[in-house]
Structure 1
Amino acid sequence: MDVKDIVNIAAEACDDKRAEDIIALDMKDVSLVADYFLICHGSNERQVQAIARSVKERMEENDISIKRLEGFEQARWVLVDIGDIVCHIFHKEERGYYNLERLWGDAARLPLSVGQEG
Structure 2
Amino acid sequence: MADITAKQMAQAAVHALEDKKGQDIDILYVDGLTILADYYILCTGQSTPQLRALADAVDEALAKLGRGPKHVEGYPSASWILQDYGEIVVHIFKKDAREFYGLERLWADAPSVDPASFEKK
Normalization by structure 1: what TM-score? 0.90
* Contact 2:36–2:86 (Cα < 8 Å) also in 1: no
Aligned length: 115
How high is the sequence identity, in percent, across the aligned residues? 36
- Give the partner amino acid of 2:109: D
* Contact 2:37–2:87 (Cα < 8 Å) also in 1: yes
Q: 1:21 — aligned with what?
A: 24
Q: 1:12 — aligned with what?
A: 15
Q: How many angstroms apart in 1 are the aligned matches of 2:117 and 2:37?
A: 21
Q: How many angstroms apart in 2 are the aligned matches of 1:10 and 1:94?
A: 21
Normalization by structure 2: what TM-score? 0.88
Q: 2:40 — aligned with what?
A: 37
Alignment of 1:1-118 (within 5 A): 1-113=4-116
4+ long deviations beyond 6 Å: none
- Give the partner amino acid of 2:21: R
**CA shift for structure 1 position 18:** 0.6
Q: Deviations over 1:55-104 (max 9, x none)?
A: 01111122112111111010011011111110000111100111111111
**CA shift for structure 1 position 32:** 2.2
Q: Deviations over 1:1-47 (max 9, x none)?
A: 32111101000111111110111101112222211100001011111
* Contact 1:15–1:114 (Cα < 8 Å) also in 2: no
* Contact 1:12–1:114 (Cα < 8 Å) also in 2: no
Give the alignment's Cα RMSD to 1 decimal: 1.5
Q: How many angstroms apart in 2 are the aligned matches of 1:114 and 1:46?
A: 28
